[in-house]
């Protein structure tokens, strides 16, 4: 079955360490997205990519980095510069830049930094 796989489901890190969240899709979608979800704040866009080797900052990109070397993969690195990294992270994809296309979401990764 086609879908989006995020791993791991739970991730624990010490403060000051960089950590990379994995996102893989086999839907052959061009566009991929990373969202952060905090209680009471809905989803906020971190980064998005509409094509391989290209990506743009979203609303809250500071302290995060991404790469898009392959169409299927869009890993997110949470760096030590991110002041409040503990959150739930959702990866999503869509077929292209068509605004009618809904986003397909992964199951998310819960990151806890202590």
Partner 1 sequence: AQTVTQSQPEMSVQEAETVTLSCTYDTSESDYYLFWYKQPPSRQMILVIRQEAYKQQNATENRFSVNFQKAAKSFSLKISDSQLGDAAMYFCAYRRTTGANNLFFGTGTRLTVIP
Residue closer to partner 1 (CB basis): 97 or 112? 97
Instruction: For residue 33, give every residue at least 6 positions away whose Cβ sits within 8 Å of its Cβ, in sequence order, or none.
Output: 45, 47, 48, 49, 58, 74, 91, 92, 93, 94, 103
Least separation in angstroms between CB 71 and partner 1: 16
Q: Which residues bind partner 1 (CB under 8 A)?
A: 31, 40-45, 48, 50, 56, 58, 88, 90, 92, 94, 97, 99-100, 102-103, 105-108
The residue written with tokens 């893989």 in the block is 24
Shortest separation between residue 114's beta carbon and partner 1, angstroms: 21
Please state whether beta strands 10-13 and 109-113 pair in parallel, antiparallel, or not at all (unpaired): parallel
Sign for the CA dihedral angle at 3, 9, 43, 36 comes to negative
Residues 111, 19 contacting (CB under 8 angstroms): yes
Residue 17 or 112: the one with the smaller Cβ distance to partner 1 is 112
CB-nearer residue toward partner 1: 73 or 103: 103
CB of 43 to partner 1, least distance (A): 4
CB of 70 to partner 1, least distance (A): 20
């Amino acid at each position: 079955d086609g879908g989006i796989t995020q791993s791991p489901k739970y991730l624990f890190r010490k403060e000051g360490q960089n950590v990379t969240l994995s996102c893989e899709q086999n839907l052959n979608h061009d566009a991929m997205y990373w969202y952060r979800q905090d209680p009471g704040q809905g989803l906020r866009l971190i980064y998005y990519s509409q094509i391989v080797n290209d990506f743009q900052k979203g609303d809250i990109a500071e302290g995060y980095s991404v790469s898009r070397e392959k169409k299927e993969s869009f890993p997110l690195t949470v760096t030590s510069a991110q002041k409040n990294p503990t959150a739930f992270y959702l990866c999503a994809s869509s077929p292209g830049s068509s605004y009618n296309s809904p986003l397909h979401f992964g199951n998310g990764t819960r990151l806890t930094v202590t």
